[in-house]
Structure formats: structure tokens, C-alpha cells
Amino acid sequence: MKTIVISGVNLIEGGPLVVMKECLKAFSCYEHVKVIALVSDLKFYNDFPKTQRVEFIALSWPKKNWFLRVFFEYIYAYFYSYSLSVDIWLSMHDMTPWVKAKKQFVYCHNPAIFFKASLKDAFFEPKFFLFSKFYHLIYQYRICKNTYVIVQQRWIAQEFKKRFGIAKVLVAYPVAERDKHQINKKARSEKITIFYPAIPRVFKNFEVIVYACELLEKKGVRLENRIEFQFTFDGTESRYALAIAKKCFDKPYINLLGVLPHAEVLHRYDKADVVIFPSKLETWGLPISEAKAFGKPVLLADLPYAHETIGSYDKASFFNPYSAEELALLLNRLLSGEDIFSVVEDVKREEETVCGWSEFANFIVECDKQ
């Protein structure tokens, strides 16, 4: 029986929490593996399938402040691992802890170091601004102690090799090619529903949609009752969310839904005509994969992460995420009944790669034999 510790005490929301759950589900399929999951709060895992192969241990205190987080990673984790016979330690939140284990891995998902944050971003999200300036130090410390450093895309793997001088980087796509969901045919109507499911962060770039709509209105294009954008926040979440909500106040064609449970998000995918994802920065972009699974047309930021995530698809259109004018042009063509979506091809994969959580778990378990 192998003992694998999977640490995710810092993961409490959004895509990172989904990643943690999917990872645990994949490892729970192995009969000869005992998984110890270090999590922030058990309430985030109420929907996790009951299994004796995963033991959850709740540790809320590392999330309270950075001093306690550092203490957890470099002191508590060592003595905790020393008390066990750990075969594999997998850290799912960027930092390489000091642990006693036969092999250890770190999963790097925070894209802050690739973002050039402005002083405006510092006002809206000061923590992310500091991360963009200093997070490379968190990544770098002890990174060479890992058997493999795990990232979600090829371009990030290449950047990590350059920045940190490491050789063993695994690209782990968080989804395999999924079977498409059963798609309900929507009754034809004049209104086009465009869904953007994302936590309101400064790099999520909701403003480019707002500005594009303003440009269209200035040109005399009527939007009300012809188009509806759906955002998954209501303005209470952060300074940035409030700023965007204020810009949407006089725009009846922008619907602020609030934070939705994942089941409702899936329902919204099903009902939407188009999914838009203008984010300036992602390590993956899970809504892109989910929209693809629903067979929805997608409007995407013309950036490396989006091209890599969408892969081969027949309903994609790309635009410069820094240009509201370019998005406005696409939206105007869409409103005019033009088909703006086309076939795109998968990018070339050169790095060592696994696709989906089953392949990922198998790689980690089998790597222990090497």
C-alpha cells in the first residue's frame, strides 16, 4: 500500500478547487494507494464521493496569513511527513515544501508571474499585484527538489525551464477530450445569449466586453433585446467586481448573475448561444474546455493559452483581448447574422504531456517505480 499526501490547504474556490477535487477522484481509483488529502475546510468537499481510499484532514490555519502558510510548508509539513512513511508528496499549490518523502511533485497553477500588473491593478487587487512582482521567488525556492514540476500548458513549461533552469517539467492538461454533453436545442430567438463564467479578477478582463458594447452603442447599434451578456458575479466580491458592476448599471443587456454553483454554470452553458473568454492570463482556462464539451461557439482571447486549450475545434473565433474595437467588430458581425466562427487546429505538443486526470494519476503512481 502506497501513501500519497496531496496538499491543497490553499485551494478554496474556482478552478483550483475543481482541479484539487478531480485530482483526488483520480487517485482514489487505485486500490493499492492510500491518499491523505490536506485541505482547508471539509465543507468544500461535501460533494466528494465517499471512499475509504481518501482521508481528509482539515487545516484551516495555513490560509489565515502568509506567515502561517510558510510555517506550514517548511516546518509543519516536514514533521508531519516525518511521522508517516510517505511514498509521494504532491503539493497542489505552487510552493515546494520541505518534506520527507521518497518523491515529491509540485503543481504550479498561479499565472501571476506572467502578468505585467499596473498601478490600477494594484488598487483593485493589491495581493495579485504583489504576486505578479514576487511570486517567482515562491516558485523558485526548492523547486529543484521535485521529481517533476507540473504545469498545465506547454508554453508555461518552456517558461519554467528558462526561468528556473529545471529539466523535468510535466505538462498535465487538466481535461482529456471529453464526450460532448447532451445538447438541448434552443428555440430560435432574436436575442443572442453570451455567457462568461469567471471569478472577477483583474486579469479576467470583463471591461473589454463593456467597452466593446459602449463602442457599438456610440455607432448606433441597438443592443437591448438583441444580445445578453451573463457574468457570474454581482459586484460584492471585490473592488474590481464593484467597478465593473457600476459600469454595467445602465446596460440592461448585461446580466450580473452572482456566483453560481457548478451545476447552474453547466445549465447556463447549455442555454447559451455563445461562450466568451477574454481573459488576459490563464494557466488553462477551464470554461473553454467546458464550452467545447457543450459544443458551443466560443469567442476567445488571441493568446497562447486559449489556442492550446481549445485544441482542434470547429466553432472558434479569436480577438485581441486588449482591443475593444476588435471585439466590437466581431459582435456587430454576429448581430448581423454572420457566421464568425471557423475551424482551428491543435497546437504541436513537444513537452512530456499527459491528458486528463486518469493519465496524470497514473504518471505519478508509476513514476514512483522509477
Name the packing angle between helices 126-140 and 154-164 (round to 10°). Answer: 60
Least confident of 109-118, 276-285, 286-295: 109-118
Q: What is the pLDDT of residue 246?
A: 96
pLDDT band at 174 (very low <50, low <70, confident <90, very high): confident
Q: Where are the domains of the chain?
A: 2-173+351-367, 192-339
Contact 234, 226 (CB under 8 A): no
Residue 249: all three cell numbers together: 448599471
Residues 251-278, mean pLDDT to the nearest whole number: 95
Contacts 24+ apart (CB under 8 A), 136-145: 136/163, 138/94, 138/95, 139/94, 139/108, 139/113, 139/164, 140/164, 141/95, 141/96, 142/96, 142/97, 142/98, 143/96, 143/106, 145/96, 145/104
Residues 109-127, mean pLDDT to the nearest whole number: 86
Contacts 24+ apart (CB under 8 A), 312-315: 312/343, 312/344, 312/345, 312/346, 313/343, 313/344, 314/341, 314/342, 314/343, 314/344, 315/341
Q: Is 336 exposed, middle or buried (0-12, 13-18, 19+ CB in 10 A)?
A: exposed
CATH topology identical between 2-173+351-367 and 192-339: yes
Q: What is the pLDDT of residue 229?
A: 98
Based on C-alpha coordinates, what's the Rg of the chain?
A: 21
Least confident of 17-21, 109-113, 320-324, 365-369: 365-369
d(CA 238, CA 240): 5
Grid look-up 491523505 returns 36
**CATH 3.30.365.10 given to domain 2-173+351-367:** no
Q: What is the pLDDT of residue 180?
A: 55
Q: What is the pLDDT of residue 175?
A: 78
pLDDT band at 277 (very low <50, low <70, confident <90, very high): very high
b/e burial code for range 216-254 (CB count within 10 A of at least 16 → b): beeeebebeeebbbbbbbebebbebbbbbbebbeeeebb
Q: What is the pLDDT of residue 49?
A: 85
Residues 291-303, mean pLDDT to the nearest whole number: 96
Residue 181 has pLDDT above 60, yes or no: no
Residue 364: all three cell numbers together: 505519478
Residue 185 has pLDDT above 60, yes or no: no
pLDDT band at 91 (very low <50, low <70, confident <90, very high): very high
Question: What percent of the chain is predicted at pLDDT more than 70?
Answer: 95
Contact 309, 349 (CB under 8 A): no
**Three-state SS for 303?**
coil
Residues 169-177, mean pLDDT to the nearest whole number: 83
Q: What is the pLDDT of residue 128?
A: 84
pLDDT band at 52 (very low <50, low <70, confident <90, very high): confident
Residue 184 has pLDDT above 80, yes or no: no
Residue 225: all three cell numbers together: 433585446
Least confident of 192-201, 228-237, 275-284, 343-352: 343-352
Residues 16-39, mean pLDDT to the nearest whole number: 92
pLDDT band at 250 (very low <50, low <70, confident <90, very high): very high
Name the packing angle between helices 262-271 and 286-293 (round to 10°). Answer: 50
Partner residues linked to 172 by β-bridges: 354
Question: What architecture (CATH level 2) is domain 192-339?
Answer: 3-Layer(aba) Sandwich (3.40)
pLDDT digits (tens, 9 = 90+) for 34-46: 999 999 999 999 9
Residues 270-287, mean pLDDT to the nearest whole number: 94
Residue 268 has pLDDT above 90, yes or no: yes
Q: What is the pLDDT of residue 117?
A: 83
Residues 295-299, mean pLDDT to the nearest whole number: 97
pLDDT band at 262 (very low <50, low <70, confident <90, very high): confident
Residues 86-109, mean pLDDT to the nearest whole number: 95
d(CA 243, CA 293): 32
